[in-house]
Structure 1
Amino acid sequence: MRRLKKYQSGEAAQYITRRAALRKLQLSLNDFRRLCIIKGVYPREPKHRRRAQKGSSDIKILYHAKDIRFLLHEPIVWTLRDYKIFAKKTGRDRAIKDFRNLKRRLALYPELRIDHIVKERYPTFIDAIKDLDDCLTLLFLFSTFPSLRLIPRDQSFLCRRLTIEFLHYIISSKSIRKVFISIKGFYFQADIKGQKVTWIMPHHYPFKPHSKAEVDFKVMSIFVEFYTILLGFVNYRLYHSVGYTYPPKFRSEIHNDLQDNFKDELSYVSDRIAALNSDLIFIENELEDEIEIMDLDFLEQSQSSNRIRKLKKEAKELKALRSLFKGLKFYINREVPREPIVILIRSFGGKISWDSTVFVGATYDESDETITHQIVDRPILSKKYISRDYIQPQWVFDCVNKRTLLPTNSYFEGVVLPPHLSPFVDSNRDSYVPPEEHENKNQSDFNQKKSVEENAGCSEKEIIDSSTMDDEQLQIAYMEEKADFEEYGHMQNEEGQNDDDVEVAEKEMQKQQREELSMSVQAGKVHKENKNIRRKNEIDEHRLQARMVKSRHRNLFRKLIREKQVKEKEKWLLKKKRRNIDAQRIPN
C-alpha cells in the first residue's frame, strides 16, 4: 500500500483556493463569481486554516473541493466559455471592419438559461417559498432604481413587474399578518402556504447617484438575475393555485415599456400604485372574499385538548383579520406614502382612493359622503367633513398588528402618536423592553384571562358549588361521626370499661382540630431584599461558575460573559435614554 504524502489527505485535501479553482474550471474571475452565485456555492471557513492552506499562514479564499468538482459538471460553464470566444471573434471583426460577419455573429449571441438551476436548488415548491425573504427584499429594492451603468432599465422594469404580480396575489389571498415602519423601509410578513415570508419595501426617495463605488452593483445584478427567475416560477404557481391566469393583465399602463415613462420617475411610481388599486382582469375563477376557516368539528370528542382549542381560536382570529377593513372607505392625502397603505387596506377588504388630479388610479373623489376615514399627515386642511375620521397613517399599521380596529382618538391629526412597537421581536427577550410593551402585554393577558373566565363562568360556578357542597357534607359527616363516637364511649362506660381510652380519643380529636386551624391562610410579612447581599451572592456564584469551567473551554466562557456584559450595557443605555426622553416631556 502506497503511503500518502503530506497534505494529500485530511483537511488539506478537502479545501481548494480560489486561484486553483479558476485554473481547474478555466474561467475568469467574473465568470467564476457569476457561476458561484447562480449555483449557490460560497467560500468556506476551515477549522484549522494552516492545515487547509497546506502550511501557509496567509489569509486565502477557500472553497470545498467537492463544490468545485460539482461545478465541473454544470452545462452553463460551456456557455460562459462561449462568451469569451464570442468577445474575441467580435473584437476581431470590428478591428478588420468586417461588419457583415459581425452582424451574423451578433445574431448568434449565446444565451444563458438558468431555469434548470432554479429547479435543481429548489426541488419542491415549499423550498422556494422558504427562500423568498432575500429574493423579495432585493427585487423590491431594484424595482425603485432608475437606469444605471451596471443596471439596465429592462432589469429594474422586470423587477417592478414581478413584485407587482406578487403583491396582487398577497392582496387577493389576504395573506399579510404583520407590518412595521422602520428607517430601512416597511417590513411586511405574509403567510404563504403555511410559511412565514418577511421582506422589506424601501421608502421612496428621489434617487441620488453615489460618486464612490461603495456598492458593487454588478454582483447584486447577478443575484437579481437569479431571483427574477425564482420569483417568476413562484408567481406562476401561486396564481394557478388560486385560479388566476398568468401572466396577469392590469388595467393601468404598468407594462407599457415606453421611454416617456422612464424619464419621469413620479409617473413611474404612480403607475405602480395605480396597478395595485385595481383588480386583475381575465380571471378564470374569482377568489372568494370570505375564506372558510378550517373545520375542526370532527374533533369534538377531544374538547379537553388545549391544542384543539388553540387551533380553533387562531382560526377565528384569522377569519376576523381577513375582513378587518371590510365596509370601510379610505381617502389618503398627497403627503401620505400611498403604496404600503394601499397594500394593507386592500389586503383586509377595504377600499381606498386619492386625488385624481395628482395621481392616476383614483376610484372616487374626496367629496364622497360614504368615506369613513381620511388619512392625513398634515394638520392643515381646507375643508373637513363631519361624517369621517381624520387619522394619521400609523393607525392602519397598528390596527393590523393588534388585529382589531383601534380607537381613532389617539391618532387624530396633530396628536402625539402612541409608540409604534415592532411585532417581530420576542416578548420574552432578555434585552430592553419598553414600558408601553409591558402595559400592552399585561392588558392582553388580563383581557385573555377575562374572556376565559366569562366563557367558563357557568362551569366554574358549578365547580365552586359542588366543592362547597362537598365541604358541608364532610362537616356533617364529621359531626355525626363524633356524636356516634361519644355515644359509643358512653355505652362503654355504662358497661364498666376503663375511661382512659375515651380520654385518649378525645385528646386525638382536639389535636386534629388544632392542626386544621393551623392550616388556615394568614397574612404574609413584607421582606425587604438587601441589594448588597444580592450583588455579593451573584459575584460568588459567578466565581464558582468560572472555577467549574475546564481550561479548554475557558475562552468560550469568557466570550459568553463578554456578550452578556455587552447586552446588559445596551439595556442600561436604552433605559437611560428613555429616562432622559421622559424627563424632557415633563413640563417645567
Structure 2
Amino acid sequence: MGKEKKKFKSGIATSFITRASAVKRLQLNLVNFRRLCILKGIYPVEPKSIRKAGKGQRLHRTYFRFKDIQFLAHEPIVEKFRDHRVFVRKVRKAKAKKEWATVNRLCRNEPKYRLDHIVKERYPTFVDALRDLEDPLTLCSLFSTFRKNAKVKSEVLPLCRRLIVEFMNYVIASRSLRKVFLSIKGIYFQVEIEGQMLTWIIPYNFGYQVPGDVDLKIMSTFTEFYTTLVGFVNFKLYTSLNLHYPPKLSMASQSTKSEAEQDEVDDAVDDLIGSFAHDLVKVNQGSSITGEDEEDNEQDDDQQEVLIAGGTVDEETVKKAREERDDMKRFKKLFEGCKFFLSREVPREAITFVIRCFGGQVSWDKTMFVGAPYEMSDETITHQIVDRPQQDKQYLSRYYIQPQWVFDCVNAHRLLPLEDYFPGVPLPPHLSPFVEDKEGSYLPPERMAMQEGNQKTESDDEEVGEEEEEEIIGESENEEDLEEGLSSDDDEEEEEDETSIGDAEKKRLKQLSKLAQKQTMNLSVAEGEVEKVNPTWDAEKLARQERRLQEMMIPKKRKRLYDRLMKKKKEQAKEVRKLKEKRLKYDEEQKVNKKKKKVTAM
C-alpha cells in the first residue's frame, strides 16, 4: 500500500500563504513588507477556494502566492530594510542618552538603497516601460503640485516637478502631442511615442487640502519607484533625439563662477526650462533643434514607401500611408507662423505647452514667470489669449480670443473660426476627443458640424489639386489645338464640297418624314391612374420579413443571447432618443431667451 496522503499538504493549501505568515517568514514588519511588495510589483490574490487555502478555515484573510514570497526572500533590498530598522533603533538610543556626536555619525552612515535593478527587472525592454508610463506621469504630476508635508519627504516634490518638466520638454521637441481635454479632474494629455499612446492627467493649480482618508505614505512609496522609472525613460528619450540630459538651453552661458553664483545660475536655467518657451541644445552642437531631423525622417519614410511599393503591398495602401503622413506633418505645424501673448489671468503652463508642441511662439507678462521671449507691445503678435470680457488697451494688429480656442483647434486638427471665441461671447461646448463614435450612439450637433468641417477641408484640398491638374491639361490641349489648326487650314477647301452634298440629302429626308407623319391616323389613349410605390418601404418590409424568418430558425441555446443583444440595442436607441429630445428642448429654450433679450434691449 502507498503512503496515506495527509490533508492540506498539496494543491491550493500549499500554493497560497497568508500575509501574517509571509511577514514572519521574511522577518520584516508590516510597513516594510508593504513597501517591498509595491516596489517589486507583487499584489495579493484571491484563491478559488478560501476553505482549502485557509486549511479548513473560512476566515477572509489576505493571501499571497507562495512563489512570490519565495521570490521576495532573495531580494537584496530586504537586507537594507533590516539594516535600516537597526539604524533607527541605534539613533533612538543615542538621542535618549544625548550622545549627539554618535547621532551625527550614524546619520552620515545611514543605509541607502537603489531601485535601478528593480526597474530593469520589471521592464526588460524600453517599450514595456513606455506602456506602463501613464500612472507614473499622473502621480508625479500630482506630487509636483503638493506643498511640503510631514508625510512626504521634502526631496520628492521638486524631483517630481523636474521629471515632469523634462518629459514635457521632450514632447515639445518631438511634437508628439495628439489630444487635449479640459475636465473637472484636470487636463488630459495624450502623446504618441514610438507607436505607443500615453494619456496622463495634470491637475489644476488650485489650493487644496489633502483628504484625511488618503494614505500618503503608500502613495509616496509608489512615487519612489515611479521617479526612478521616469528618470530612466527621460534619459532614453533625450538620447534618441540627440539632446543633452539633463536638458540645456541654447541661451545658457557657460562661464567660470563661484559655487554660490553657479547655484543661482542653475536655478535660473531650471526656471527657464520650466517655462517651455526656449529650445533645447543637441549633443556636440551649439544650435537648438531645427528641421533637419524632420527632413531625415521624411527621407527614411520615402525609402520605406519605395520598399513597400516594390513588395506585395497595393498602391492604394501606399497612397493612404502617404496621405496620413502628409496630414500628420500638417497637424504638427498647426500653429506655425502664429505668435501668441498670454494675459495674466490665463493658465500659463498648459497653454504654453500646447502651443509650443505645434510650432507656435508664446510669451507672457514678465511678472507672471521668468523667461518671457517678447513683450506685450510687440506689433508682430497675431493672437492674444484673454479670459476677461474687457481689456484696458487693445491693439488692432492682433486677435483677442479665449483660451478654449487653442485646445479646440488641436482636437479638430485645424484652425477654427475666431468669431465663436471672442471675449464675452458664449463659448461652444468643449467636446472630448477620447469618445469614439459608434453606430447607433448619440452625436451632438457640434460634433457632427466638426466632422463635416473636416470633410469640407479635405474635399477643398482635393478640388484645388484637381483644378490645378485640369489647368495643366487644358494648357496642353490648347497647344495641340493650335498645332492642329495650322495643319488643317489646307484641307478646309476640300471638305466644303463634301459638306454641301451632305446638307442636300438631309433636307430631302426631312421632307419625306413630314409626309409620313401627315398620313398617319390621330390615335387617342385615356390616361390611367398609376399606383404610387415607395421602393424603400418595400425593401424595409422584405428585410423585416427575412429577419423574422431568421429569428425563427435560431436554436434555443442561442436565442437567449440574441434576445439580450436586441434588448441592449433597444435600450441604447431609447437613450439616444431621450438625448435628442433633451437637446431639442434646450435649443428651443435658448431661442426663446434670445428673443426675450432682444425685446428687453429694444
TM-score, structure 2 as length reference: 0.74
Match of 1:441 among 451, 458, 461: 451
Q: In the alignment, what sits opposite 1:246?
A: 245
Seen in structure 2, the aligned counterparts of structure 1 residues 573 and 142 have a Cα distance that, compared at 3 Å, is farther
Q: In the alignment, what sits opposite 2:395?
A: 385
Q: Quick one: percent identity of the two aligned structures?
A: 45
Measure, in 1, the Cα distance between the counterparts of 2:117 and 2:75: 10
Measure, in 1, the Cα distance between the counterparts of 2:139 and 2:572: 31
How far apart are 1:586 and its partner, in Å? 2.3
How far apart are 1:68 and its partner, in Å? 1.2
Note if contact 2:247-2:281 (Cα within 8 Å) is conserved in structure 1: yes
How far apart are 1:12 and its partner, in Å? 2.8
Say yes or no: does 1:289 pair with 2:291.
Answer: yes
Q: In the alignment, what sits opposite 1:217?
A: 216
Measure, in 2, the Cα distance between the counterparts of 1:82 and 1:561: 64
Q: In the alignment, what sits opposite 1:336?
A: 346
CA displacement 1:42-89 (0-9 Å, x = unmatched)? 112333334333343332222222111111111101111112111222
Measure, in 2, the Cα distance between the counterparts of 1:82 and 1:559: 60
Instruction: Give 1:54's aligned amino acid.
Output: K
Match of 1:548 among 557, 564, 582: 557
Note if contact 1:303-1:309 (Cα within 8 Å) is conserved in structure 2: no
Note if contact 1:248-1:282 (Cα within 8 Å) is conserved in structure 2: no
Q: In the alignment, what sits opposite 1:79?
A: 80
Seen in structure 2, the aligned counterparts of structure 1 residues 367 and 575 have a Cα distance that, compared at 3 Å, is same
Q: Name the SS for the 1:153 alignment partner.
A: coil
Q: In the alignment, what sits opposite 1:398?
A: 408
Q: Name the SS for the 1:317 alignment partner.
A: helix
Seen in structure 2, the aligned counterparts of structure 1 residues 364 and 189 have a Cα distance that, compared at 3 Å, is same
Note if contact 1:179-1:401 (Cα within 8 Å) is conserved in structure 2: yes
Q: Name the SS for the 1:377 alignment partner.
A: coil
How far apart are 1:30 and its partner, in Å? 0.8
Instruction: Give 2:134's aligned amino acid.
Output: D
Seen in structure 2, the aligned counterparts of structure 1 residues 94 and 347 have a Cα distance that, compared at 3 Å, is same
Q: In the alignment, what sits opposite 1:179?
A: 180
Say yes or no: does 1:162 pair with 2:163.
Answer: yes
Q: In the alignment, what sits opposite 2:493?
A: none
How far apart are 1:190 and its partner, in Å? 1.1
Measure, in 1, the Cα distance between the counterparts of 2:181 and 2:171: 17
Q: Name the SS for the 1:187 alignment partner.
A: strand
Q: In the alignment, what sits opposite 1:69?
A: 70
Q: In the alignment, what sits opposite 1:132?
A: 133
Q: In the alignment, what sits opposite 2:278?
A: 278
Instruction: Give 2:315's aligned amino acid.
Output: S
How far apart are 1:114 and its partner, in Å? 0.9
Q: In the alignment, what sits opposite 1:486?
A: none
CA displacement 1:169-219 (0-9 Å, x = unmatched)? 11111111111111111111111122111111111112x324x52211111
Q: Name the SS for the 2:344 alignment partner.
A: coil
Measure, in 2, the Cα distance between the counterparts of 1:62 and 1:561: 42
How far apart are 1:297 and its partner, in Å? 3.9
Structure 1 stretch displaced more, 165-174 or 273-282: 273-282
Equivalences for 1:106-505 in 2 at 5 Å? Answer: 106-206=107-207, 208-210=208-210, 213-249=212-248, 271=271, 275-280=275-280, 283-285=283-285, 286-289=288-291, 291-292=294-295, 293=298, 294-295=301-302, 296-300=305-309, 304-428=314-438, 431-445=441-455, 448=458
Q: In the alignment, what sits opposite 2:591?
A: 586
How far apart are 1:431 and its partner, in Å? 4.8
CA displacement 1:354-404 (0-9 Å, x = unmatched)? 112443221111111100111111111112222111111111112112222
Note if contact 1:332-1:338 (Cα within 8 Å) is conserved in structure 2: yes
CA displacement 1:117-157 (0-9 Å, x = unmatched)? 01111111111111111111111111111101112332110
Seen in structure 2, the aligned counterparts of structure 1 residues 571 and 17 have a Cα distance that, compared at 3 Å, is farther
Note if contact 1:371-1:388 (Cα within 8 Å) is conserved in structure 2: yes
Note if contact 1:243-1:287 (Cα within 8 Å) is conserved in structure 2: no
Seen in structure 2, the aligned counterparts of structure 1 residues 79 and 166 have a Cα distance that, compared at 3 Å, is same
CA displacement 1:505-528 (0-9 Å, x = unmatched)? xxxxxxxxxxxxxxxxx9844539
Q: In the alignment, what sits opposite 1:24?
A: 25
Seen in structure 2, the aligned counterparts of structure 1 residues 55 and 228 have a Cα distance that, compared at 3 Å, is same
Measure, in 2, the Cα distance between the counterparts of 1:58 and 1:386: 76
Instruction: Give 2:557's aligned amino acid.
Output: M
Note if contact 1:376-1:413 (Cα within 8 Å) is conserved in structure 2: yes
Q: Name the SS for the 1:527 alignment partner.
A: helix
Note if contact 1:274-1:360 (Cα within 8 Å) is conserved in structure 2: no
Cα-Cα RMSD: 3.8
Q: Name the SS for the 1:85 alignment partner.
A: helix
Note if contact 1:13-1:65 (Cα within 8 Å) is conserved in structure 2: yes
Q: In the alignment, what sits opposite 1:473?
A: none
Seen in structure 2, the aligned counterparts of structure 1 residues 362 and 434 have a Cα distance that, compared at 3 Å, is same
Measure, in 2, the Cα distance between the counterparts of 1:408 and 1:303: 43
Measure, in 1, the Cα distance between the counterparts of 2:431 and 2:224: 36
Instruction: Give 1:353's aligned amino acid.
Output: S
Seen in structure 2, the aligned counterparts of structure 1 residues 102 and 563 have a Cα distance that, compared at 3 Å, is farther
Note if contact 1:391-1:413 (Cα within 8 Å) is conserved in structure 2: yes
Note if contact 2:342-2:384 (Cα within 8 Å) is conserved in structure 1: yes
Measure, in 2, the Cα distance between the counterparts of 1:452 and 1:6: 77
What number of residue pairs does the alignment pair up? 504
Measure, in 2, the Cα distance between the counterparts of 1:523 and 1:113: 81
Measure, in 2, the Cα distance between the counterparts of 1:31 and 1:559: 49
Structure 1 stretch displaced more, 435-444 or 330-339: 435-444
